[in-house]
Chain A
Amino acid sequence: KEEAISLVTRVKYGAVSATVPQTSLHRSCRWYSVSHLSVKERIDQKRQAALQGGGQQRIEAQHKRGKLTARERVQLLLDPESFVETDMFVEHRCADFGMEQDRNKFPGDSVVTGRGRINGRLVYVFSQRGNSILCDILFVLQDFTVFGGSLSGAHAQKICKIMDQAMTVGAPVIGLNDSGGARIQEGVESLAGYADIFLRNVMASGVIPQISLIMGPCAGGAVYSPALTDFTFMVKDTSYLFITGPDVVKSVTNEDVTQEELGGAKTHTTVSGVAHRAFENDIEALLNLREFFNFLPLSNQDPAPIRESHDSSDRLVPSLDSIVPLESTKAYDMLDIIHAIVDERDFFEIMPNYAKNIVVGFARMNGRTVGIVGNQPKVASGCLDINSSVKGARFVRFCDAFNIPIITFVDVPGFLPGTAQEYGGIIRHGAKLLFAFAEATVPKITIITRKAYGGAYDVMSSKHLRGDVNYAWPTAEVAVMGAKGAVQIIFRGKENQAEAEAEYVEKFANPFPAAVRGFVDDIIEPATTRKKICQDLEMLASKKQVNPWKKHANIPL
């Protein structure tokens, strides 16, 4: 039975007094250093303290905030009883500012690390203790700064250890981030800790999938670890990502902004593109992460996973025959096509609310994970602009790094014109998507559903960029531009523009010009698209293609 006693801790530096709730458990933590207990008892007590986290009261406080504890999160994320913890006994080594006192030490420090299984598949995981006693003490100690810190050298060391092992074994790392930032008491050691993690994030990039789920504050240097990982997910209303908080923003730029506006889930999934998706709460986020994990191979040495599928690979999809409107100016929803084609209508969309003119995400074809890229005619006509190019490029590169075949649905009227785009560097950013598709050596299947105009046609996984199988639907129009614009240039100043336009449409607004040149492999009935893709993927499973040796390519960043 826990009893809560309030202790007033006077801290001389910073002249801050604070009330830190203490429990019998914490007192017991202090006792073991007195060494009047046997080793066995001390082990049990430390383990107990580590498992209990901050004690019942602290857990309740975390629950009241609508958040789960680090350990509950791990339990929900992993298969039952599969979690194997490491470094439960690690403590921080800070010897300054009273941190050396036993009551400011905590077994396991402010992070839970280890390995476990998701649907039987190996994964390494760390879960930061946003609620740990250390965080609170430190938060109180440092409330004159923007944010309390909790990343200690020990904390970083624990994370590095599992990352190193994940690399040697070849299994993904999932980080559940909930941390205030650097531990100022530790000073440079804490900074070193960050850098150690950053380096490992970079080394692991493209070797093992790295996923960050932001479940609390993540500010300052801490943000760069999620930024370096492959996917960053957030929890709505309780997670924030920013370099500097609202107070510093106010003092530097005199902007009034809330935490939510500055770095909340909505900002990062719609405006900045920092996060790839946001979920309603901790539970939905963790359950979705399990679902997401199923799509990924464990490392770059593994092929895309194939899960048992209940959807027959030769299923015809008659509804696709009428999905593209007859008027080429009318929009339709590319997601309708994707849902109808993939296994069980199951599509895990990445960045669904950012640069919506391109759709990217994971699905399965006959059980095999594929990456889907599609122009979205419903939004800004499906044109390519800065944001959609970057979004697409990053996704394509992830798929290529991890052997996930890419299926591209093309309906693109071109790159978006305008000063905003040109000044923003559409040339540089558009080049990223071009680079990514060209460089990719995974199986690439492309379906032109309607427009494939101009340079955007080349970019969208065209035959010229080593597309393995390129199809056109009967509604496809591969051309330099739309009829009206083309006629204005070709027949400038001439009468009978309408007639010329009709001629252009007859000649170019159909799949033949591309088909006769072999730029598309076949013109297919839309209803058969799923069947064809499944067959092609089977054939391409043994595809081998190697780019010339290089230290690394120089993608136009």
Chain B
Amino acid sequence: MTLWMIGNMAAHSVPSTLKRLLFAVKYSPLQSRCCAVQREAQYSTISIPSEKTFDKILIANRGEIACRVIKTCKKMGIQTVAVHSDVDSSAVHVKMADEAVCVGSAPTSKSYLNMDAIMDAIRVTGAQAVHPGYGFLSENKEFAKRLAAEGVAFIGPDTHAIQAMGDKIESKLIAKAAKVNTIPGFDGVVKTAEEAVKIAQEIGYPVMIKASAGGGGKGMRIAWNDEETREGFRFSSQEAASSFGDDRLLIEKYIDNPRHIEIQVLADKHGNALWLNERECSIQRRNQKVVEEAPSTFLDPVTRRAMGEQAVQLAKAVQYSSAGTVEFLVDSKKNFYFLEMNTRLQVEHPITECITGLDLVEQMIRVAKGYQLQHTQDDIPINGWAIECRVYAEDPYKSFGLPSIGRLSQYQEPLDLDKVRVDSGIQEGSDISIYYDPMISKLITYGATRAEALGRMEDALDNYVIRGVTHNIPLLREIITHPRFVSGHISTNFLPEVYPDGFKGHQLEADAKRELLASAAVLYITAELRSAKVLGTQRVASTPVECSHWELCVELGEERQDVEISKSGTVYTVEMDGAKVEVWGALNLASPLLPLTINGTQRMLQCLSRDAAGVIVLQYLGTLFKVRVLSKLAAELNSYMPEKVSEDTSSILRSPMPGTVVAVSVKPGDTVAEGQEICVIEAMKMQNSLTAVKQAKVKSVHCKPGETVGEGDLLVELE
């Protein structure tokens, strides 16, 4: 089966390459202008022009990291080759690259992880080196070996370093030998649950259990007692066998309230290695990083140096070359323990670039070519402070982020702000699909001080326009303005501790609420006044609406507030509850951004929608608020309107047309996300994808592929 698949894929890749080239020809005039001018990044390494590296690099990745690598390649005068799946054929990284090759269909196992197709792409395009980005094949020793066999440079460490550090157990043994602090624990094959319990008891609770081969925090389980250890053992060993084909487990001391601080290292093939300071990545949800910063508020120079030196010792111990990251857990007493080493470029590498001025991708390319490092440890500064927020297409109100999918109907990065860097691989019109990581971008701000960087981040988040998918900006903005975060008192438990009942959005104080209501009322008046502005001469004269005083009622949730507004010049004075709010600003009804000056303070609000019935959805302080503005009369009469209970038809999926079922993507018991494809019906030579309108568990499936269905036939029932 596997063999057939690979054979099939290989055969498939050639025609798809052709198709891709045809496509490129067909669209070439359109493409050039699609590659928007990218803002200069916050790194300043000066390339040495005489230093020849590669002529052509293939980037075996997608999304923002592929774009990131291409940017540096362009700077260095290197030709780039993008690989992509069929659904990504018009993705930004494809448009940015000089050449692009389709390597298979949407599922990553058939495209971005399809080594045969990628090797073919390398041969066809004549790329001399491959940058793997992160994820996918970046830490795959098999891939590195195959490249080496074909004489293609892998822009990353050597195979043995990948192998040594890729294995949790082996890496800890090496770390121990290199005199790096490690967490007490057991690493090896655990045969039974009872054996696991015995080990856990020896180490002392709490302990952490996970598959040895698994990366990051994925599949990590924490046990506080024997029972939980048994459970953790079952899950982790199952996962180890099914996901990695390697049933070794790791059981170790779990450090309560730890900080996650990592050291960036950079090494060459000549035995030189540097530490490029730390990144604090403690703000995590479900063990995935959300907000990162460099440097850390927690480290003093002595600890930093100690950690940096240990990281370099480890790198040297495995003859590491290229950029890598040594992750540590740091407890409240500044004891630090080696966690793992990531033998690739990290997602959060830009903050290190901001504070050190190095272009890590450029350094990786140089090192891969065999050049020596340009810097010594003394050359590595900490200049200012950098913060990175990972902007995800996900709903932060559901366990701090459940993926959402959709099409970016409007998308505008806050690039006109100073010292803001956005690393993204999408643009307006891009689809965020279920196939890939739901990260929209990495938003990085930089400043001389932490306060400056945080202030910029607030502005940047407020100016970031994302429509069409649910995103986590509400959560990000709450985190970076939370007093605990601002004071630097954070740990990996930050989110569950600060929001024990889950994230609920920004909680408005009385003043802020007044500002919000006043802004909504002003927007409403602006739209009302504009409605009467009919241009040109009219046969039947309009009665000009000359009004400068209004009485309105603004509703927010259950609350109703009478407001009086008067306009003088361009300034609106909104009175409510005996308080006055002055609002003025550029009220452009076409713009998603609403820059307002409210009581002398500049605020950036966003308007998401505005309808005839007075409902205005505003993004204010990061969070979305649904406000309803009505005239006083309408509000009074509105109280007579009955509350309506919306009919729930979302749990039944019927065929909207007669046709043939092409594919059924779910089975009973599956959990589907909102917008996820449930089945595909072909009719009129068209494939129509039917999607779930809510997140639910599949109760029953009443159709199978190949079956003919009539209009209104029951296809799938959800719970």
Q: Which residues of A pack against B, CB within 8 Å?
A: 63-64, 66-68, 72, 75-76, 79-80, 82, 117, 119-122, 169-171, 236-237, 279-284, 287-288, 290-292, 294, 298-299, 301-303, 305-312, 318-323, 326-327, 329-331, 336, 339-340, 343-344, 367, 377-381, 383, 413-414, 416, 474, 482, 484, 525, 527
Q: Are B683 and A381 in contact (CB under 8 A)?
A: yes
Q: Are B428 and A319 in contact (CB under 8 A)?
A: yes
Q: Would A331 and B530 be within 8 Å (CB), given that A68-B640, A309-B590 are in contact?
A: no
Q: How far is the CB of B552 from chain A (nearest CB, A)?
A: 12
B-side contacts of A320, CB under 8 Å:
429
State in angstroms the CA–CA spacing of A312 and B589 once bound together.
11
Q: Are A326 and B23 in contact (CB under 8 A)?
A: yes
B-side contacts of A327, CB under 8 Å:
687
Q: Are B656 and A380 in contact (CB under 8 A)?
A: yes
6 new A-B contacts at CB < 8 Å, known A380-B656, A474-B26: A66-B642, A79-B545, A170-B540, A291-B612, A305-B534, A474-B30
Q: Are A121 and B637 in contact (CB under 8 A)?
A: no
Partner of A310, one of B588, B685, B688: B588
State in angstroms the CA–CA spacing of A308 and B542 once bound together.
14
A-side contacts of B633, CB under 8 Å:
75-76, 80
Q: Are A380 and B634 in contact (CB under 8 A)?
A: no
Closest to B638 in A: A283
A-side contacts of B306, CB under 8 Å:
none
A-side contacts of B637, CB under 8 Å:
68, 72, 76, 282-283
Q: How far is the CB of A402 from chain B (nearest CB, A)?
A: 13
Closest to A311 in B: B590
State in angstroms the CA–CA spacing of A303 and B634 once bound together.
32
State in angstroms the CA–CA spacing of A262 and B538 once bound together.
43
Q: Are A281 and B642 in contact (CB under 8 A)?
A: yes
Partner of B429, one of A280, A322, A344, A474: A322
A-side contacts of B411, CB under 8 Å:
319
Closest to A280 in B: B644
Q: How far is the CB of B546 from chain A (nearest CB, A)?
A: 10
Q: Are A119 and B89 in contact (CB under 8 A)?
A: no
12 A-B residue pairs with Cβ-Cβ distance under 8 Å, sorted by A, are A79-B545, A170-B539, A284-B612, A298-B538, A303-B536, A307-B533, A310-B589, A319-B409, A320-B429, A330-B686, A378-B688, A381-B688
State in angstroms the CA–CA spacing of A66 and B657 once bound together.
37
Q: Are A310 and B590 in contact (CB under 8 A)?
A: yes
A-side contacts of B642, CB under 8 Å:
66, 237, 281
The number of inter-chain residue pairs (CB within 8 angstroms) is 171
B-side contacts of A474, CB under 8 Å:
26-27, 30
Q: Are A120 and B534 in contact (CB under 8 A)?
A: yes
Q: Would A307 and B430 be within 8 Å (CB), given that A68-B640, A326-B23 are in contact?
A: no
State in angstroms the CA–CA spacing of A299 and B540 once bound together.
10
B684 within 8 A of A: yes
State in angstroms the CA–CA spacing of A301 and B539 once bound together.
8
Q: Would A120 and B688 be within 8 Å (CB), given that A283-B637, A307-B531 are in contact?
A: no
Q: How far is the CB of A451 from chain B (nearest CB, A)?
A: 9
State in angstroms the CA–CA spacing of A531 and B591 once bound together.
17
Closest to A323 in B: B429
Q: Are B590 and A283 in contact (CB under 8 A)?
A: no
Q: Would A381 and B530 be within 8 Å (CB), given that A318-B428, A322-B429 are in contact?
A: no
Q: Are A283 and B530 in contact (CB under 8 A)?
A: no
B-side contacts of A283, CB under 8 Å:
613, 630, 634, 637-638, 641
Interface residues of B in 522-580 (CB under 8 A from A): 530-536, 538-540, 542-545
Q: Are B687 and A120 in contact (CB under 8 A)?
A: no
State in angstroms the CA–CA spacing of A292 and B613 once bound together.
12
Partner of A331, one of B533, B534, B538, B687: B687
Q: Would A336 and B686 be within 8 Å (CB), given that A79-B545, A288-B613, A310-B591 are in contact?
A: no
A-side contacts of B689, CB under 8 Å:
331
Closest to B528 in A: A119
Q: How far is the CB of A299 from chain B (nearest CB, A)?
A: 8
A-side contacts of B89, CB under 8 Å:
326
State in angstroms the CA–CA spacing of A246 and B428 once bound together.
52
How would residues 451 to 476 of chain B score, 1 for a CB under 8 Å from any chain A CB and 0 otherwise? 00000000000000000000000000
Closest to B636 in A: A72
B-side contacts of A378, CB under 8 Å:
688
Q: Are A120 and B542 in contact (CB under 8 A)?
A: yes
Q: Are A413 and B685 in contact (CB under 8 A)?
A: yes
State in angstroms the CA–CA spacing of A66 and B637 once bound together.
10
Residue in B532, B630, B686 with the greatest tally of chain A CB atoms within 10 Å: B686
A-side contacts of B532, CB under 8 Å:
119-120
B145 within 8 A of A: no
Q: Are A120 and B409 in contact (CB under 8 A)?
A: no
State in angstroms the CA–CA spacing of A281 and B630 once bound together.
14
B-side contacts of A80, CB under 8 Å:
631, 633
Q: How far is the CB of A55 from chain B (nearest CB, A)?
A: 17
Q: How far is the CB of A542 from chain B (nearest CB, A)?
A: 13
State in angstroms the CA–CA spacing of A68 and B408 once bound together.
41
State in angstroms the CA–CA spacing of A283 and B630 once bound together.
10
How would residues 34 to 78 of chain B score, 1 for a CB under 8 Å from any chain A CB and 0 otherwise? 100000000000000000000000000000000000000000000
How would residues 14 to 44 of chain B score, 1 for a CB under 8 Å from any chain A CB and 0 otherwise? 0000000001001101100010000000000
Q: Are B429 and A287 in contact (CB under 8 A)?
A: no
The 8 closest A-B pairs by CB, nearest first: A319-B429, A291-B612, A381-B684, A311-B590, A381-B686, A308-B533, A120-B542, A310-B590
Q: How far is the CB of A184 from chain B (nearest CB, A)?
A: 31
State in angstroms the CA–CA spacing of A303 and B630 once bound together.
31
B441 within 8 A of A: no
A-side contacts of B536, CB under 8 Å:
303, 306
B-side contacts of A281, CB under 8 Å:
641-642, 644
State in angstroms the CA–CA spacing of A344 and B587 once bound together.
13
Partner of A287, one of B407, B544, B634: B634
State in angstroms the CA–CA spacing of A367 and B535 once bound together.
9
B414 within 8 A of A: no
Q: How far is the CB of B23 from chain A (nearest CB, A)?
A: 7
Q: Are B644 and A237 in contact (CB under 8 A)?
A: yes
B-side contacts of A380, CB under 8 Å:
656-657, 683-684
State in angstroms the CA–CA spacing of A263 and B688 once bound together.
31
Q: Are A66 and B429 in contact (CB under 8 A)?
A: no
B-side contacts of A288, CB under 8 Å:
612-613
Q: Are B634 and A76 in contact (CB under 8 A)?
A: yes
Q: Are B34 and A321 in contact (CB under 8 A)?
A: yes
Q: Are B531 and A336 in contact (CB under 8 A)?
A: no
B-side contacts of A64, CB under 8 Å:
640
Q: Would A413 and B540 be within 8 Å (CB), given that A119-B545, A120-B532, A281-B642 are in contact?
A: no
Q: Are B544 and A120 in contact (CB under 8 A)?
A: yes
Closest to A453 in B: B685
State in angstroms the CA–CA spacing of A284 and B615 once bound together.
10
Q: Are A379 and B590 in contact (CB under 8 A)?
A: no
State in angstroms the CA–CA spacing of A331 and B688 once bound together.
6
How would residues 638 to 655 of chain B score, 1 for a CB under 8 Å from any chain A CB and 0 otherwise? 101110100000000000
B-side contacts of A236, CB under 8 Å:
644
A-side contacts of B29, CB under 8 Å:
525
A-side contacts of B438, CB under 8 Å:
none
Q: Are B429 and A318 in contact (CB under 8 A)?
A: yes
State in angstroms the CA–CA spacing of A63 and B26 once bound together.
63
Q: Are A298 and B634 in contact (CB under 8 A)?
A: no
B-side contacts of A67, CB under 8 Å:
640
Closest to A68 in B: B637
Closest to B543 in A: A120
Q: Are B540 and A171 in contact (CB under 8 A)?
A: yes
Interface residues of B in 83-101 (CB under 8 A from A): 86, 89-90
Residue in A171, A299, A329, A331 with the greatest tally of chain B CB atoms within 10 Å: A329
Residue in A281, A309, A343, A416 with the greatest tally of chain B CB atoms within 10 Å: A281
Q: How far is the CB of B244 from chain A (nearest CB, A)?
A: 34
Q: Are B684 and A321 in contact (CB under 8 A)?
A: no
B427 within 8 A of A: yes
B682 within 8 A of A: yes
State in angstroms the CA–CA spacing of A305 and B535 once bound together.
7
Q: Would A340 and B684 be within 8 Å (CB), given that A76-B634, A283-B637, A307-B530 are in contact?
A: no
